[in-house]
Amino acid sequence: MSRTDLTEDGAVLLATLTAPDRGLAAAAGRGRSLTALLAATLASLLVALVVLPRLDFSAGAEAAAAAAADGQPPTQHQVEEAVLQASKVGAVAGWASAGLGPALAALGVALACWLAFRVAGTRPGFRPTLAVAAHALLPVALAKLLLLPAVVARAPLPAAELAGLLPTSLAALLPAQSAPLVAALASSLDLFAAWSVVLLVLGMARVAGASRLRAGAVVALLWIGWIVAARLLPASMAAGRGGGA
The domain segmentation of the chain, as residue ranges, is 3-244
Q: What is the pLDDT of residues 156-180, one digit of tens each?
A: 888 777 777 888 888 777 776 778 7
Q: What is the pLDDT of residue 79?
A: 67
HSE, side-chain direction, 13 A CA sphere, residue 71: 1
Q: What is the pLDDT of residue 74?
A: 66
More confident residue, 149 or 159: 149
pLDDT higher than 60, residue 245: no
Q: Which residues of 101-113 are buried (b: 16+ CB within 10 A; e: fewer)?
A: bbbebbeebbebb
What is the mean predicted confidence (pLDDT) over 150-156?
87
Q: What is the pLDDT of residues 129-142, one digit of tens each?
A: 999 999 999 999 99
Residue of 73, 67, 70, 218 whose CA lies nearest to 132: 218
More confident residue, 62 or 185: 185
- Supply the pTM of this predicted model: 0.87
Q: What is the pLDDT of residue 243?
A: 53
Q: What are phi and psi of 53, to 5 degrees?
A: -65, -15
Q: What is the pLDDT of residue 128?
A: 97
d(CA 76, CA 232): 36
Residue of 51, 83, 50, 54 whose CA lies nearest to 66: 83
